[in-house]
Each structure stands twice: as C-alpha cells, then as structure tokens.
Structure 1
Amino acid sequence: MDTLDPTARSVVPEAFRQEDRRRRWKVLAALTGFLLAFASGTALLVTQPVFAGRTADDVPAGSPERLEADVRLLSESCAPRDWLGAGLPKAADAIALAFQEAGGRVARQPFEVRGHTVTNVIASFGPETGTRVVVGAHYDACGELPGADDNASGVACLLELARSLGQAPPAGRVDLVAYTLEEPPFFRTPDMGSVRHARLLREAGSEVRAVIVLEMVGRYTEASNSQRYPSTLLDLLYPDRGNFLLVAGRFGDIDLTRQVKAAFRSASPLPVRSLNGPRWIPGMDFSDHYPYWDQGFPAVMLTDTAFYRNLDYHTGRDTADRLDYRRMAQVVQGVHAAVTRLAMRAP
C-alpha cells in the first residue's frame, strides 16, 4: 500500500461513497414504491371504487312527498317513540299498516323487555321460500327526541321501498324489517330488535344472501368541510362535502359492498361512497347490521354518516324540516336496484 499513488487514496473511498449512495437511493426508491403501492392498495381495498360507467336500470322513483309524510308521521305524530313512549306502539301499527297496504306479507316479532312488550315489524315480498335478502331500519328514537334523521328517514325509505316491491314483486324473497330498541338504553345489548331478528334467522336455519341496514339517510349538504371522519387517513380518501351516501361493511363484505355500490350507480344520481374496514373504526358497527355479522350473515350499512355530518344528531333539532327528501327518493332508487339484483341471484 505504500507504493499506491496518493491520488488513489482519495479516489477509492469516494467511489465507495458513491456506490453506497446509489444503494441507499435504490433502497429508498424501492421502499417508496412499496409504500405507495401499499397505500394505493389500501385505498382501493377500503374505498372499493366502481370503475364501470353508469348504466340505466329501470327503477321506479321514490316520492319525496310520501317520504316527508312518513317522516313527519313518525317524528311528530308518533312522538315520543323511545322504549317507554306511547308513540312506539303507535309507530309499529303505522308501519304494519303501510306494509300491508303495499302488498307485503306482514308479521310481527314481539318480545318482552323489562315488563314491556315491544315488536319488530316484518313485510315479505316475492316467493315465500328460498334464500332471502333482508333490508332493515330501526323505528325507535333516542329518548323523547324527534329522531327525524335518526331514524325516521331510514324507515320512510323502507316504506317507500315496500310500495315499489308491492307493485313489482322481486324474483327472490325480500324481507323488510322495522326494528325496535336500537337506541339507548338497549344499544349493544341482547334486547335490540335486530339482535333478536338475526338470532332467530340463524336458529331457523334461514338462508340469507345479504342484509342491508338503513341508518340515517336524510341529511346532505354541498358545503365545504361539512363532512368529518374518524381518522386523518379517511380524510385523505374521502370528500369533505357531505353530499353522498356511504355503504359501510367489513373487509369480508367487500363483494356485497361492490354489488350494492354498483347497483346504486346504475339507478340513482346520488353520489355513493363505500368503506370496508375493521369493526374498531368508530361508527363502523354503530347500528343494526352488526348483529347479523355476529350470526355469520353478510351485512352492510347505508348511511349519511350520522354524527360525522349531522350536527343535530341526538338533539331536539333533528326534525323533519331539515331532511332532503329529493335525495332520500334517490336513496330508495338505489336500494331498490340493489335489492332486486341481489334477489335475482338468490337460488
């Protein structure tokens, strides 16, 4: 080494440094590419985009006027409709009558809670046997609050869907279920009406192709920054305007989520987004769909995102005059398309 040219002593280390830098850049580029691919894959998995263009399913339009009348009936004429309120059985009777007038096969599913008899109300359309599609919404309200969006909006859409199915019965069985006791003090307890319904389906060995739960579907706005999310990642993936309907489900419900979302796009002009993720995301299982998960049935929730958009949630301001009935009619269109497609595929 003593005979090595002095200039080489500086050149060799610099060559090593350049090679080391090249290796670092390659590793950084590879890592960046991996992270981008992972993020893109995660975004695709979570948001479930539908790339196909809109088609034109021939789906009857919902009536904004009937939707408003039903919301006012439940939130005003049937108030209060909490578990002790005189309006709860009145609401059940009104729902049963509307189901019957629509042509559904109406049944009640009563049960006892703390010395009181409460009931789910069910209307079936299409064949009496075979695999079924379930669409549900809870009709009780939190305390003595009006609960127009939560959840008279979902029940009103359920009644409007019944009218459409009565005029054109589906190829497969469709059960529309108005649940009782989703709200406190029974939320996340065995006394929820949806828990009872899901468990009885499992005990009876019923074949269920899909469950769609309508939870607060009446509030929409074009205002910027009107939509919130439970994490900054979701802030990056979803719009800041609360002008869309969300289809939410577990990762295991991706296929059902895509089918529902595609059906919406085929029939309704209402923007629709979707979210598939774990149950620990706040709000992911805050409704009547999770009892069906617990019984092994595929289920998704359709929602305006509740308290992430509606600042009147669980207040006296959740009134009928604040809902968007034109867009609720578009919700009915989309649900009708999804239900009839799913029922056609049922054996």
Structure 2
Amino acid sequence: MITPAAVAGLLELARLLHQQVPKTGVQLVAYASEEPPFFRSDEMGSAVHAASLERPVKLMIALEMIGYYDSAPGSQDYPYPAMSWLYPDRGDFIAVVGKMQDINAVRQVKATLLSSRYLSVYSMNAPGFIPGIDFSDHLNYWQHDIPAVMITDTAFYRNKQYHLPGDTADRLNYQKMAQVVDGVINLLYNSK
C-alpha cells in the first residue's frame, strides 16, 4: 500500500472497527517499501508480514489505488486491448482482482461492494502472467497460500498522472473512496 487514498481508507477502517468490533479477527497493516528496489523482494513490507503469520488467515485484502475515477469515454486502458471487449472504456468503477484459485474470495468481495448499490464493480481472476494482476502487496500472500485480493481503481491504466507531479489530492473522488471503505467494512462485519 503506497497511496494516500489507500492509507486514508485504512485509517477510516480503523476508526469504524474501533466503534464496532467484527466477529472475526481483523489485522489492519500498512506497508512501507512497496516500490523498487524493494518490490518483489524479501525486504518488501508485505513479504515480511506474510512470512511472519502463524495462524490461519481467511483473506488478505490489499487496498491499492482506490480514489481516482474518470467517467470520460476512453479513460480506461487495459494491459491487453481485447480486455476492452469485457470491461468498460470509462474509468468510473472499482476492480477486485485475484488469481484463479481465489475466485470465491473475489466473488465475495465483489458481491459485498456491489451491495452498496452506489459503486460500479468489476472483477477479474487471472493467471499471474497478466500484467497488473500482481502489482501490489497481495502477491506476497499468494506465496504463502493465503487467499488474497486487490481492490483497485487500476492505477496507471486509468490515472495518466500516476506517480507524476500531477497526481494530487484534488483529483481524488472522496465519495467513491468512502463507498469502497463502506463495502470493505460491511465485508468485515458480515464475514463468518
């Protein structure tokens, strides 16, 4: 997790969880060192955390980029042009992404996010060779056979200012960010 939007989402989750504790255990974890030269290394914060877990983990949810939305036609790109036949050309949705083995987890997260009726949600289960499927901290949990999904606005496939000086707070959609957090908190409260 590297984005201020994801950190804000995590802090709001912490506030809500403090008000009402869910039935199942929840760990909120923020990681440093997700970017190069640490990305995909043993020093990556999520790699250290995933390796340290001793008790069974039901699901890891990575809040990646969750705040940039663009409803203009053609604002959404994909790693492969053919994907535009299956997914919208407008970047006004949130995506739930996981590997093939995590199809049930992706479906559960997507269904809960959709239950808010305010978010447009798309999902993808794909093999690791699809670019972007493993571009966040959840990849390190897969290495330990822990189900993990990423909730993302698709980062640079949508936000052309991603990691550039124009990637500023005034370009975030705070209402959509709050809806994502509401969906995640509902998932945590209703998990069995």
TM-score by length of 2: 0.97
Q: Distance in 1 between matches of 2:162 and 2:134?
A: 17
Q: Distance in 1 between matches of 2:165 and 2:43?
A: 25
Q: Distance in 1 between matches of 2:91 and 2:7?
A: 21
Alignment match of 2:52 (pick from 200, 207, 214)? 200
Q: CA-to-partner distance for each residue in 1:220-270, whole Å, 9 max, x for gaps?
A: 011000000111331100000000000000110000001001111123511
Which residue in the other structure is 2:85 paired with?
A: 236
SS in structure 2 opposite 1:252? helix
Alignment match of 2:9 (pick from 151, 157, 161)? 157
Structure with the higher fraction of residues in helix conformation: 1
Structure 1 position 280 matched with structure 2 position 129: yes
Identity %: 53
Q: Is the 8 A contact 1:208 1:297 kept in 2?
A: yes
Q: Distance in 2 between matches of 1:162 and 1:274?
A: 25
Q: CA-to-partner distance for each residue in 1:55-76, whole Å, 9 max, x for gaps?
A: xxxxxxxxxxxxxxxxxxxxxx
SS in structure 2 opposite 1:212? strand
Higher RCO, Cα 8 Å, sep 6+:
2
Which residue in the other structure is 1:211 paired with?
A: 60
Gaps in structure 1 of 5+ consecutive residues: 1-137, 140-150
Which residue in the other structure is 2:138 paired with?
A: 289
SS in structure 2 opposite 1:274? strand
Q: CA-to-partner distance for each residue in 1:155-209, whole Å, 9 max, x for gaps?
A: 10010011111111100100000111001121111110000000001xx2x1100
SS in structure 1 opposite 2:123? strand
Which residue in the other structure is 1:182 paired with?
A: 34
Which residue in the other structure is 1:308 paired with?
A: 157
Q: Distance in 2 between matches of 1:262 and 1:337?
A: 11
Q: CA-to-partner distance for each residue in 1:122-156, whole Å, 9 max, x for gaps?
A: xxxxxxxxxxxxxxxx24xxxxxxxxxxx111110
Q: Distance in 2 between matches of 1:200 and 1:322?
A: 36
TM-score by length of 1: 0.54
Which residue in the other structure is 2:69 paired with?
A: 220
Q: Is the 8 A contact 1:215 1:303 kept in 2?
A: yes
Report the RMSD for the aligned CA atoms in angstroms.
0.9
Which residue in the other structure is 1:299 paired with?
A: 148
- The letter for the 2-side match of 1:313 is Y
Q: Distance in 2 between matches of 1:340 and 1:211?
A: 15
